[in-house]
């Protein structure tokens, strides 16, 4: 009899707690539905992006456009009625492209074909007359040692390893060849090269060169060589031409210049938590962009989606338990100064960060998130899968997060990155066609709502290390 009573008691408890869990889940579903409705019916992110892209344009660190973006986004955050909005000073590099670059392939005296190039960010200029030399084609940094100084000295090194097209994850394909862009000049100069040309990081065949950051390391200024990217169509043409005439000449001229560092700002807005005001969760993107396009996908989209998260919380009258911040980081593209500054200040002020989410993969249809965290927190994240299913969000994987929030990593904070569909991202990445017309309003708004939903769940349930304090 006692066993029967015990069994009945356990069943009753299971029913009570099961019913409670169901109600909690239903409440979460309703809140998330409300977030998506508000974003899709009354979204603001697309209008913000329109202004950033079409009224301001490319926002290279240290430029007038970057400072205009700082002032504009601060003003827009002020309008949201947040508890705090402020600018966080940060010193950033200043590099300018100068007059448009010019290049051609010369197969015989007087016989040449113009090709499409752009200087890599941080590169030195050529001489005022330009640079002309023979070319040696390689498939990556590892080939330099094989050819050696004897074959490389006095030549332009042409890095022609393409992104691997059969990789479904295009960021993996990008990671497989971006080292030749970043370190190509530094390494080629060690063998006496006079310049480098890098195949654009692009899966599509087109005539658009794609810029991006490069580094000389600690190389003396006198040893630095100019570096440019060439479009994929012209890279193929150059490679074919070298096959027919190995001693052809390549000419390019670029006028870029490096200046002393200048002051800029991270833009920060906060809704102060009503239970744990001294525990922080952040959402953000980087406000700077390259100068060839207007930076709509990289990363205007991430900035306006992050602003939208806090706007949505205000609109649905959600009062977060923890303090929620939006951080628009400056200088991700060519220095990561903004992300490092934010983490440095957080550490100095002994601010406890529990969760950070970054959107820096374009404004395409959201698929889910990647997380840099432990298995305990990831198990909690996986328990939320069903809440995202109605919105076709299905990708929840352990992996990277975002460059700007990476400096916050301390073994406790959960880091996450929004993962949109990436198949078209590198068609636009760092190129002149990264423009507002390439962004679909509905896809952008879905991304903002998806981010807000994840932030809501983390705010409500906390991270694994903070769950006990949340329950109390």
CB of 49 within 8 A of CB of 280?
Answer: no
- Tokens, residue 65: 């456009």
| DSSP state at residue 292 | S
C-alpha to C-alpha distance for 87 and 18, rounded to whole angstroms: 47
> Residue 393: is it exposed, middle or buried by C-beta count within 10 angstroms (0-12/13-18/19+)?
buried
Whether 332 sits among the annotated catalytic residues: the reply is yes
d(CA 27, CA 74): 33
Backbone φ/ψ region at 103: left (φ over 0), alpha (ψ -120 to 50), beta: beta
Distance separating alpha carbons of residues 408 and 227, to the nearest angstrom: 32
Name the phi and psi angles at 249, rounded to 5.
Answer: -110, 140
Torsion of CA 459, 324, 332, 289, to 10 degrees: 110
Contacts 24+ apart (CB under 8 A), 42-46: 42/315, 43/308, 43/441, 43/444, 43/445, 43/448, 44/304, 44/307, 44/308, 44/311, 45/301, 45/304, 45/305, 45/307, 45/308, 45/444, 45/445, 45/448, 46/304, 46/439, 46/441, 46/444, 46/445
- Whether the upstream peptide bond of residue 39 has omega within 30° of 0, thus cis, is no
DSSP 8-state code for residue 121: B
Active-site pick, 76, 187, 332, 445? 332
- CA 381, CA 355: separation in Å to the nearest integer? 12
Q: Which residues are catalytic?
A: 332
């Amino acid at each position: 009899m006692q066993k029967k009573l015990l069994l009945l008691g356990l069943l009753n408890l299971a029913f009570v707690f099961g019913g409670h869990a169901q109600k909690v889940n239903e409440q979460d579903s309703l809140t998330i539905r409300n977030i998506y409705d508000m974003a899709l019916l009354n979204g603001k992110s697309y209008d913000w992006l329109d202004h950033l892209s079409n009224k301001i344009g490319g926002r290279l660190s240290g430029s007038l456009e970057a400072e205009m973006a700082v002032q504009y986004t601060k003003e827009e955050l002020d309008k949201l009625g947040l508890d705090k909005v402020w600018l966080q000073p940060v010193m950033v590099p200043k590099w300018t492209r100068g007059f448009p670059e010019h290049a051609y392939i010369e197969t015989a005296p007087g016989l040449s074909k113009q090709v499409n190039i752009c200087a890599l960010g941080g590169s030195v200029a050529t001489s005022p007359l330009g640079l002309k030399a023979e070319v040696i084609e390689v498939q990556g940094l590892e080939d330099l040692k094989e050819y050696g100084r004897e074959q490389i000295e006095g030549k332009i090194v042409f890095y022609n390893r393409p992104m691997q097209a059969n990789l479904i994850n295009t960021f993996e394909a990008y990671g497989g060849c971006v080292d030749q862009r970043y370190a190509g000049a530094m390494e080629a100069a060690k063998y006496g090269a006079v310049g480098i040309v890098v195949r654009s990081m692009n899966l599509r065949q087109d005539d658009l060169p794609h810029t991006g950051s490069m580094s000389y390391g600690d190389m003396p200024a006198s040893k630095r060589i100019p570096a440019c990217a060439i479009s994929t169509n012209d890279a193929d043409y150059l490679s074919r031409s070298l096959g027919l005439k190995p001693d052809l000449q390549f000419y390019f001229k670029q006028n870029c210049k490096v200046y002393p560092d200048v002051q800029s700002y991270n833009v920060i807005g906060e809704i102060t938590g009503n239970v744990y005001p001294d525990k922080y969760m952040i959402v953000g993107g980087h406000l700077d962009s390259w100068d060839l396009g207007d930076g709509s996908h990289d990363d205007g989209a991430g900035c306006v989606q992050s602003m939208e998260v806090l706007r949505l919380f205000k609109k649905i009258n959600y009062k977060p338990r923890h303090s929620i911040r939006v951080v628009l980081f400056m200088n991700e593209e060519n220095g990561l100064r903004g992300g490092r500054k934010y983490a440095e200040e957080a550490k100095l002020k002994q601010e406890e960060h529990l969760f950070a989410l970054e959107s820096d993969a374009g404004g395409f249809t959201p698929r889910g998130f990647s997380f840099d965290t432990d298995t305990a927190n990831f198990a909690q994240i996986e328990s939320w899968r069903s809440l995202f299913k109605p919105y076709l969000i299905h990708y929840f994987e352990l992996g990277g997060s975002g460059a700007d929030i990476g400096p916050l990593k301390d073994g406790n904070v959960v880091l996450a990155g929004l993962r949109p569909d990436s198949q078209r991202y590198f068609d636009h990445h760092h190129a002149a066609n990264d423009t507002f017309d390439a962004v679909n309003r509905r896809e952008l708004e879905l991304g903002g709502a998806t981010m807000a939903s994840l932030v809501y769940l983390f705010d409500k349930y906390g991270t694994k290390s903070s769950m006990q304090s949340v329950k109390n």
